[in-house]
Amino acid sequence: MDGFELFLTILSALGGLALFIYGMNLMGEGLEKASGSRLERILDKMTSNPLVGVVLGAAVTAIIQSSSATTVIVVGLVNAGMLKLRSAIGIIMGANIGTTVTGQILRLAELDTSGGASKAMEFLKLDTLIPIICLAGLIIIMTTKKMTVKNIGQIFLGLGILFTGMSAMTAAVKPLAELPAFGEAFAAMSNPILGVLVGAGVTAIIQSSSASVGILQALSVSGLITFSSAFPIIMGQNIGTTVTSILSAIGTTTNAKRAAAVHLMFNLVGTIVFLSGIYLIQSLIGFPFWNDPIDMGGIANFHTLFNVVCTLLFIPFIKGFEKLATLVIRDKKNKTPVEEYTLTLDERLLKSPSLAIGQAMHTLISMANLSKVNFDFAKGLLSEYSEDTAVSIKAADEQIDKMEDGLNSYLVKIAELDLTEFESRRVTMLMYLTTEYARIGAYAKNIFENAQTLHESGLSFSETAKTETEVIYKALDEIIALSLSATERSDPKLAYRIEPLEETIDVLNDTLKFRHINRLKNGDCSVESGVVYLDMLVNLERIADHCSNIAVYVLGSTKGHENLSRHEYIEHLHHEMPDDYRELLDEYGNIFKLN
């Protein structure tokens, strides 16, 4: 083979590789779209049971044909606070098993029905099926308008292109067997360290263990790849695939970084243990096939065996991996409220509307908690001023503003996706709730400014005023907590309890204003502190009003209340006075009662 022929051969192999990778990506995208949000919702609702995580991780990866995609989703879920680290570890382990399905599919390329095969068996040859699969996919895509059906066509077309690329690669590689340098290169791969490094390097570059295993399977048709050289390459490929999750963890939360670290540690430790075991057996007993050529089926089988054995071996040590990741990537000591509640909105999850909406909800709850923290800090400053607390309030307020802007931008992007009616309503609700919780944070800041005014002027409320406001503070604590729980759980029963409590707070507020005016008339408090006191009561009342709005939005997002009008709802409760509403009014009136 002269230089020009070698160039054409390599060019053909690279062209086949391009088709192979494109077909794999096209098929993977089609499978992911066809699965809709069901698979992601399964991951979203993961329990802490590691065995369930392993099974689901394997199933999801087998369906979407990409362990990289699964681990990126997992890192995103952990980053959003939607998945615990321990659950993520089980899913990551399962993803390693699921990704081996691709290799088992690709081994079909070596099946041959030559010889005395019947015409029916000839029809099943891959060379015959490839154009049929591609044609079927193209016809489906061009003749239907339904996206669900188009996704099936994309799967067929991707599969056909994938096998076309595999056939092109295998055809191009066969002549390379005649080159001594080609044989020597693979002979060198029998060195386990070199083989692992090559496997890891190639996979890291193309960021797909399925694709790198497919390349190895295509190269195996040369007959120059032995079991001894294939084993370390395959194990190295498992290490290389962790690059995707590591890259996806850049700029994420501590736990998300730990999830990516566990992916690397699991595959690295698995390779060391498995490689050590294989070479120990080879040195003591010896494998009779050690120096024999390996075929596509052998590569697929070893890839599956390696990942299944490693997973079964390490399932009992999931807690150990979690602790190791915690030791390697440590928590920041003495987290501030801002650091405690801040979550990152990961745009990679926009590929799945249900996951993106779930992530937006978690960030909203984080912002709501931060608003509650600011309210707690602010009312504390009215009694005892602290510069450290003032600094914390300002930092939290800035973060609330950033989260509001980030959430609004993210929700607009979600709204532009192909959403179901339910998802669309949920996005609308989240937009409203974002504004409401941000306003609660703003009024908490106003209360802080009331405290700041008192401190700078050397003023304070009277002891009577302090005692009486403790009652309305407790009522505000209760209504904010109810709002948070109702939002987080989408619970209409909890949401229904908010309006009678808001009415109770209004009554308390009016009573406190009346009593305060009497104190002013009697000269029991100064005019300057009295102005601050009245402004504080206005801010407290506004917070309760926004909690009332939150209740209506939560109720409106539940089944049977989709077209709920806030005005009509409030009018109905206040004028019709249903029995359960009246009972709640009496209950709250007895709990939050002024002496």
Q: Each residue of 563-584: pLDDT tens digit? A: 667 777 788 787 888 888 899 9
Grade residue 135 by pLDDT with cuts at 50, 70 and 90: confident
Q: How many residues does the chain have?
A: 595
Same domain, 123 and 197: yes
Question: Which structure tokens are listed for 35?
Answer: 């699965």
Measuring CA to CA, which residue among 432, 416, 590, 437 is closest to residue 500? 590
d(CA 71, CA 90): 11
How confident is residue 551, by pLDDT bands cut at 50, 70 and 90? very high
Confidence tier at 158 by pLDDT (50, 70, 90) = confident
- Rounded mean pLDDT of 521-547? 89
Same domain for 270 and 223: yes
**% pLDDT > 70, the chain:** 83
- Across 105-119, 301-315, 522-536, least confident range: 105-119
Q: pLDDT category, 259, cuts 50, 70, 90?
A: confident
pLDDT digits (tens, 9 = 90+) for 222-242: 787 889 888 998 998 888 888
Q: How far is CA 235 from CA 229, 394, 559, in A?
A: 11, 52, 51
More confident residue, 343 or 274: 274
- Is there a contact between 346 and 68 (Cβ–Cβ < 8 Å)? no
Q: What are the structure tokens assigned to 383, written together?
A: 């009694």
**126-130, 190-194, 505-509: least confident range:** 126-130
Is residue 333 in some structural domain? no
Q: Which residues contact 269 (CB under 8 A, 6 or more apart)?
A: 314
Look at residues 266, 300, 328 and tell me which one is the last residue of a structural domain. 328
Q: Is residue 468 part of a domain?
A: yes
3-class secondary-structure state, position 361? helix
In a domain, 436, yes or no: yes
Tell whether 321 and 368 lie within a shared domain: no
More confidently predicted of 139 and 62: 139
pLDDT for res 171: 72
In this structure, are 281 and 227 located in the same domain? yes
Q: Is 59 exposed, middle or buried (0-12, 13-18, 19+ CB in 10 A)?
A: middle
From residue 500, give the alpha-carbon distance in Å to each of 351, 441, 486, 572: 41, 22, 15, 12
Range of the domain at 85: 3-328
Judge whether residue 447 has pLDDT over 80: yes
Judge whether residue 24 has pLDDT over 70: no
- Of 252-261, 360-369, 407-416, the poorest mean pLDDT is in 252-261
- The whole-number pLDDT of residue 174 equals 64
Shared domain check, 207 and 137: yes
Same-domain status, 304 and 155: yes
**Domain-located, residue 339:** no
pLDDT category, 115, cuts 50, 70, 90?
very low
**Per-residue pLDDT averaged across 95-100, rounded?**
86
Task: Provide mean pLDDT across the span 369-380.
Answer: 91
544: CATH: 1.20.58.220
The band of 116, judged by pLDDT with boundaries at 50, 70 and 90, is very low
User: Which pLDDT score is estimated for 471?
Assistant: 93
The DSSP output letter for 286 is -
Average pLDDT over residues 335-353: 69
* Mean pLDDT (whole number) for 369-394: 90
DSSP states of 58-91 as a string?
HHHHHHHT-HHHHHHHHHHHHHTTSS-HHHHHHH
pLDDT grade for 445, boundaries at 50, 70 and 90: very high
Looking at mean pLDDT, say which of 52-66, 99-113, 326-340, 353-367 comes out highest: 353-367
pLDDT band at residue 443, thresholds of 50, 70 and 90?
very high
Give the integer Cα–Cα distance in Å for 379 and 381: 5
- Count of beta carbons in the 10 Å neighbourhood of residue 74: 31
- Mean pLDDT lowest for which of 86-95, 484-493, 581-590? 86-95
Residues 538-561: what's their mean pLDDT?
87
| Residue bearing the bigger pLDDT, 482 or 346 | 482
Mean pLDDT of the chain: 82
Find tokens 């801040």 and name the residue: 342
Q: Which of 435, 458, 481 is the last residue of a domain?
A: 458
pLDDT at 117: 45
Assess contact for 349 and 282: CB atoms under 8 A: no
Interval 385-400 mean pLDDT: 89
Weakest-pLDDT range from 89-103, 197-211, 357-371, 581-595? 197-211
Query: Does the pLDDT of residue 432 top 80, yes or no?
Result: yes
> What is the end-to-end Cα distance of the chain in Å, rounded?
102
One domain, residues 30 and 81: yes
Q: Which residues contact residue 501 at a Cβ distance below 8 angstroms, ignoring those fewer than 6 apart?
A: 475, 478, 479, 482, 544, 547, 584, 588
Among 556, 588, 552, CA closest to 571: 552
Q: Is residue 171 located within the same domain as residue 106?
A: yes
Between 50-54, 269-273, 355-359, the lowest mean confidence (pLDDT) is in 50-54
User: Once rounded to an integer, what is the mean pLDDT over residues 468-480?
Assistant: 94
Name every residue whose Cβ is closer than 8 Å to that of residue 50 and which is 6 or more positions away in sequence. Answer: 86, 87, 89, 90, 93, 315, 318
C-beta of residue 536 within 8 angstroms of C-beta of residue 379: no
Question: Per DSSP, what are the bridge partners of residue 293?
Answer: 226
What pLDDT score does 577 carry? Answer: 84
At 291, phi and psi to the nearest 5? -105, 10
Mean pLDDT of 404-427: 88
Whether 274 and 295 share a structural domain: yes
- Boundary-marking domain end, from 458, 490, 525: 458
Q: Helix, strand or coil for residue 343?
A: coil
Range from 5-19, 108-122, 326-340 carrying the lowest mean pLDDT: 108-122
Same domain, 100 and 206: yes
pLDDT bracket for residue 114 (50, 70, 90): very low
Pick the more confident residue, 358 or 398: 398
Residue recorded with tokens 């949000």: 37
138 contacts 155 by C-beta, under 8 angstroms: no
Let me know whether 466 and 434 are in one domain. Answer: no
Q: Which pLDDT tens digit goes with each residue over 42-91?
A: 555 555 567 778 888 887 777 666 676 777 778 777 776 667 888 888 88
* Number of domains composing the chain: 3
Residue 395 lies in a domain: yes
Q: What is the pLDDT of residue 272?
A: 92
> Considering the domain boundaries, does residue 341 fall inside one?
no
pLDDT tops 50 at residue 283: yes
Q: Is 119's pLDDT higher than 60? A: no
Q: Which residue has the higher pLDDT, 530 or 25?
A: 530
pLDDT band of 499, cuts 50, 70, 90:
very high
- Residues 282 and 40: their CA atoms lie apart, in Å, by 43
Same domain, 262 and 236: yes
Residues 30, 154 contacting (CB under 8 angstroms): yes
Q: What is the mean pLDDT of residues 319-328?
A: 88
Residues 329 and 258 sit within 8 Å (Cβ to Cβ): yes
